[in-house]
Structure 1
Amino acid sequence: MFGDKIDNVDASKIKEVFKDLITTYTNPAYGSISKRDFDIFLFMKLQELGLIEKDPEIYDVISNLRVTRTKARNLLYEVKMRNSSEEILDQELRLLLSKPIFFETNDKIAIEISNPLLADHLRWKLKKLGYITDSSFSAELIKMTENAYIAIFEDMIPNKSREKVKAALIKCGAKHDTGIKDILLAVIKKLATLMIGKVGGELVEVGVEYLGPILGGKINEISKQYEGFFEQKTESE
């Protein structure tokens, strides 16, 4: 399973992890830790050694550990729950929101999330905003309406940056007599049309360079990235 990878790990690091495993298994008494807790602890140590990535795809866990999909999801969920604060989850969510997947045939937008805890975090935030998601096609592909995506997108822009973001986009050509929600919707619709037109597929993932600056409130990057953006013509225009 990990033969080649283990050979490349520093011996002192392996010794340190082995000591942690023995200490945990024998404290306060030999075998007193539950199998579930020890499985989670061992999984975290495999990540510490670099044998499993910090943010692995579920299939990587399944193939490396020879476990079921349910077991892999549970391990990822438990580990993330122990290591992630709401602030960390929000940071990860901003990155994923900056890479939406557009569908050619309908107005749904999808976010691909391999971290089950982060998926629940997104659903929780959307529910608070009055929206529900659809993951019937795939547990890792969460679909939502354009309005739901815009709502969570706006919610994740830092409060102190929203007016500056709006002003920067207006300066780049967005309509000045609308609110930030309408401006964001115009950006998303334009991106969807431009990207699907270029790729010509049924769905396409947008690069983080377009939406990342908006979510991060990076005004200079917005000005550079969206210069001339609103003047671009699409096939439908």
Structure 2
Amino acid sequence: MGLHQYSEAINAARPEALRESLRLLLAAHALPVFGAAKAVEHEVAALNALQVIGYLPERSDEFELVEKLRITKTKARNLLYQVALRQQGQSVTEIDDSLRAVLGGRHVLKDGSFFLVEVPDPLTMDRLRRRVRAAGYLSDGSFSGAIARIPEGALVTLIDELIDKHHKQEILKRLHKAGLADVSVSGFVKAFLITVGKKYAGEVGVRIGDHLVDLFEHGYASIAQYAGEVVNQLKSSQVSAVE
């Protein structure tokens, strides 16, 4: 692997980007003194610099690193993890946003009573695993590489936690008006997943993520077209009305 593979990106980069990439590369040599930084610090600095000049996307996944840096998938995921650890501490809201983005992605597949979710970022995967454990479900045997295999009950709990308070209040208000005063938000989420799963059987891999991101962003209003079916699902007791 030679420098020539970066030449196009270097030549196309703006002067400000080149200065910033050089600053990132040299910063690793000052931790704490020249020559004292570990190899991983230089690798992280180089990856950040390559993103600044546009050789790598700002939010790279392991496949892009494998292709463009000629490294193994394991090495790529380890490097992404190291980069994430060195970023400034994220707030609870930012962490929740990263989980919403994963669940609202297009790579969400239904497999029986489980949901398969692709999680390119290894730190987000660890956070997802922790939330699944906190919900009382086994995660170690259900997660492999970049794929999280989440039990339906754990996903329901997670979605419930990620819906903001304003949307939750609106959901409960609408359910009460429909005569379902005892239904919790988690009961609604479970009925919603069943309804969408039946509606788009055979193409759920695309549809579930699309509808989840709508649910996170717009709450009850985003599923108005399914509201009647969700309510009927709850009234027919096919799901538990109270979680």
**Equivalent of residue 29 in structure 1, options 10, 30, 33:** 33
1:212 aligns with 2:216: no
SS at match of 1:196: coil
Letter of the structure 2 residue corresponding to residue 184 of structure 1: V
SS at match of 1:206: helix
Written as runs of structure 1 = structure 2, the 5 A alignment for 1:1-237 is 1-26=5-30, 28-83=32-87, 85-87=90-92, 88-99=94-105, 101-103=108-110, 106-133=112-139, 138-168=144-174, 175-197=180-202, 199=203, 204-206=205-207, 208-216=209-217, 218-219=218-219, 222-231=220-229
Structure 1 length-normalised TM:
0.81
Letter of the structure 2 residue corresponding to residue 68 of structure 1: T
Structure 2 length-normalised TM:
0.79
RCO greater where, 1 or 2, for CA within 8 Å and sep 6 or more? Answer: 1
Aligned counterparts of 1:53 and 1:174: Cα–Cα separation in 2: 49
Which 5+ residue runs of structure 2 have no aligned equivalent?
A: 233-243
Offset at residue 134 of structure 1 (A): 6.0
Aligned counterparts of 2:140 and 2:117: Cα–Cα separation in 1: 11
Alpha-carbon RMSD across the aligned residues, in angstroms, is: 3.0
Offset at residue 206 of structure 1 (A): 2.3
Comparing both structures, which one devotes a greater share of its residues to helix? 2
- Equivalent pair of 1:134/1:144 in contact (CA under 8 Å): no
Letter of the structure 1 residue corresponding to residue 117 of structure 2: I
SS at match of 2:148: strand
Aligned counterparts of 1:148 and 1:228: Cα–Cα separation in 2: 23
Offset at residue 4 of structure 1 (A): 2.6
User: Taking structure 1 as reference, are residues 170 and 205 closer, same or farther at Cα in structure 2, changes over 3 Å only?
Assistant: farther
Aligned counterparts of 1:23 and 1:204: Cα–Cα separation in 2: 43
Aligned counterparts of 1:223 and 1:56: Cα–Cα separation in 2: 33
Offset at residue 188 of structure 1 (A): 0.3
Letter of the structure 1 residue corresponding to residue 110 of structure 2: F
Offset at residue 133 of structure 1 (A): 2.9
How many equivalent residue pairs? Answer: 226
Which 5+ residue runs of structure 1 have no aligned equivalent?
A: none
Aligned counterparts of 1:23 and 1:107: Cα–Cα separation in 2: 49
Aligned counterparts of 1:121 and 1:150: Cα–Cα separation in 2: 16
